[in-house]
């Protein structure tokens, strides 16, 4: 038998969780309400995460990054989301934006852009468009060859951290008749002439993470900015989502844990009928269900992270399952946390209504939970078996 702990986090992984939690207690949680209220970028969190190398922990050491494995990256994102989901988009979006390069990019692209990401410049992912949401292959953004380079035109919508990020992975069609086989991926820089941004969307939650349109107006980029092969962009985009849906599951677990922790504390302090409300079995059952579901979501998420790290053949199923299950749990648990706090939970004087609003996006982005169910069913019907 190996001396590896059976079904337990390694000491290294536990140490990462503790380190992130300490930073979040000091530099993320204290600003979360203000960031939400003012719908402003979480600068304090961004600086603290950058200083500790938790802003883009997935970047390999060979490119100047922290070299965190997929499970460690999940732990970082989960812990940040426990304090503030908006701030957890910093490492999550940086992984999403740069993963296409890690999957399909040339060594030169990796050296150039992963190094700058590790040094603190952000990376966003531009797949969605006004008419390409769930139907991601319906790309209208066009990339046309121009001598040695490419010219890009189009509108990308719902782009997380747009304007903050220095770099953008842009999916565009290079052959409009070929649907998914005619899509290619490119790196666009914020400072490329012709790049501009729409007004920040006015959102229900994750107000600290700017969501804006990205406009590409005759943006000319050099030929070496194509990621991998022409026509393979959709494949890279889908492979990327297989991995990053695990990070959305991590956000969901984190925000659910944050809401549960708050509800547990409140239930023991709040007195009604001459005793703490935690003494009532009706509330105990609610809390028990919340704890049980958070833990089930966490286990599925960590199992998916292992598959992401190893590149297992059932990652597509596990990424979709973890994201779908954990985000449904996050919505239920945060809603029930509001219920535990009663009228107080419904006000902005307490953090649980923010957590409930923030949780909602995890059921929507990186593929709606309806799309996740399509992905899971296709995998099951194709006979994909669990690698365990
Ligand atoms: N890994 C590798 N290749 C994949 C893949 C994956 N996970 N998923 C699809 N592909 C490939 C397919 O194999 C197919 O190639 P072949 O024709 O050679 O088999 C090609 O990509 C097209 O796939 P498919 O036919 O399944 O595409 P659909 O148009 O039916 O779309 C869904 C599939 C709906 C699953 C996809 O569009 C999707 O994930 N939509 C949601 C997008 C999303 O998450 N948006 C959020 C943006 S980030 S906030």
Residues 333/259, Cβ–Cβ less than 8 Å? yes
Q: What is the DSSP secondary-structure string of 216-241?
A: EEEEEE-GGGEESSTT-HHHHHHHHH
Q: Annotated catalytic, 44?
A: no
Atom of ligand 1 nearest to the CA of 378: 26
The C-alpha atoms of residue 129 and residue 132 are separated, in whole angstroms, by 5
* Residue 31 Cβ < 6 Å to ligand 1: no
User: Residue 238 C-alpha to ligand 1 middle, in angstroms?
Assistant: 5
Distance CA 12, CA 184 (A): 38
Cα of first residue to Cα of last residue in the chain, in angstroms, is 17
The closest residue, in CA terms, to atom 35 on ligand 1 is: 375
Q: Where are the alpha helices (DSSP H) in 270-314?
A: 281-310
Instruction: Give residue 177 CA to ligand 1 midpoint distance, Å.
Output: 17
pTM: 0.98
- Residue 370, ligand 1, Cβ within 6 A: no
Supply the pLDDT for residue 2: 59
**Residues 226, 205: contact at Cβ < 8 Å?**
no
In this structure, the residue with its CA closest to atom 10 of ligand 1 is 235
Nearest atom of ligand 1 to the alpha carbon of 137: 29
For residue 297, count other CB atoms closer than 10 A to its CB. Answer: 24
Rounded to the nearest angstrom, the distance between the alpha carbon of 146 and the centre of ligand 1 is 28
Distance 371 CA to ligand 1 centre (A): 10
The pLDDT value recorded for residue 6 is 83
DSSP-derived secondary structure letter, 111: I
Please identify, by atom number, the ligand 1 atom nearest to the C-alpha of residue 316.
Answer: 7
From residue 363, how far is each of 32, 166, 325, 327, 380 by CA, in Å?
21, 27, 9, 5, 21
Question: Rounded to an integer, what distance in angstroms lies between the CA atom of residue 328 and that of residue 369?
Answer: 8
pLDDT of residue 3: 63
Ligand 1 mean position to 234 CA, how many Å? 7
Q: Whose CA is nearest to atom 9 of ligand 1?
A: 238
**The predicted structure's pLDDT at residue 386:** 87
Return the ligand 1 atom nearest residue 235 CA. Answer: 3
pLDDT, tens digit (0-9, with 9 covering 90-100), for 297-330:
999 999 999 999 999 999 999 999 999 999 999 9
CA of 295 to the centre of ligand 1 (A): 30
Q: Is the CB of 364 under 6 A from ligand 1?
A: no
Among the listed residues 44, 79, 129, 366, the single catalytic one is: 366
**Is residue 239 in contact with ligand 1, taking CB distance under 6 Å?**
yes
Give the list of residues 6+ apart from residue 358 with CB closer than 8 angstroms, or none. 85, 86, 205, 206, 255, 334
Residue nearest to ligand 1 atom 37, measured at CA: 136
Task: Quickly count: other Cβ atoms within 10 Å of residue 90's Cβ.
Answer: 28
What is the maximal distance between C-alpha atoms in the chain?
79
Cβ(187)–Cβ(169) under 8 Å? yes
Which atom of ligand 1 is nearest to 365's Cα?
A: 49
For ligand 1, is residue 367 a contact (CB within 6 Å)?
Answer: yes
Which of 226, 214, 215 is CA-nearest to residue 144?
226
Query: Which parts of the chain have pLDDT scores under 50?
Result: none
């Amino acid at each position: 038998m190996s001396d590896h702990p059976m079904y337990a986090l390694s000491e290294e992984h536990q140490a990462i969780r503790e380190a992130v939690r300490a930073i979040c207690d000091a530099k993320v949680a204290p600003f979360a309400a203000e960031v939400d209220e003012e719908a402003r970028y979480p600068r304090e969190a961004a600086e603290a995460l950058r200083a500790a190398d938790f802003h883009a922990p997935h970047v390999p050491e060979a490119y100047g990054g922290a070299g965190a494995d997929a499970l460690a990256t999940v732990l970082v994102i989960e812990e940040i989301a426990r304090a503030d989901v908006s701030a957890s988009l910093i490492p999550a979006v940086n992984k999403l934006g740069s993963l296409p390069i890690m999957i399909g990019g040339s060594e030169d692209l990796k050296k150039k852009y992963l190094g700058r990401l590790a040094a603190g410049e952000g990376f966003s992912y531009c797949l969605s468009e006004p008419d390409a949401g769930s139907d991601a292959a319906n790309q209208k953004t066009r990339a046309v060859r121009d001598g040695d380079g490419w010219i890009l035109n189009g509108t990308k919508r719902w782009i997380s951290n747009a304007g903050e990020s220095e770099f953008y992975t842009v999916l565009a069609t290079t052959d409009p008749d070929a649907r998914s086989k005619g899509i290619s991926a490119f790196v666009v820089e914020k400072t490329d002439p012709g790049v501009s941004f729409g007004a920040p969307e006015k959102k229900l939650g994750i107000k600290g993470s700017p969501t804006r349109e990205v406009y590409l107006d005759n943006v000319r980029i050099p030929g070496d900015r194509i990621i991998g092969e022409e026509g393979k962009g959709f494949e890279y985009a889908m492979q990327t989502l297989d991995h990053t849906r695990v990070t959305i599951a991590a956000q969901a677990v984190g925000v659910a844990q944050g809401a549960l922790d708050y509800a547990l504390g409140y239930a023991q302090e709040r007195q009604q009928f001459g005793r703490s409300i935690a003494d009532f079995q009706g509330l105990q059952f609610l809390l028990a269900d919340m704890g049980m579901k958070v833990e089930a979501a966490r286990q599925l998420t960590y199992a998916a992270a292992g598959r992401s790290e190893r590149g297992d053949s059932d990652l597509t199923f596990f990424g979709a399952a973890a994201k779908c299950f954990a985000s449904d749990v996050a919505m239920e648990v945060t809603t029930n946390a509001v219920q535990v706090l009663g009228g107080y939970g419904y006000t902005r004087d307490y953090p649980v209504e923010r957590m409930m609003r923030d949780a909602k996006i995890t059921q929507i982005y990186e593929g709606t939970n309806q799309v996740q169910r399509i992905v899971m069913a296709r995998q099951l019907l194709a006979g994909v078996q669990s690698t365990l």
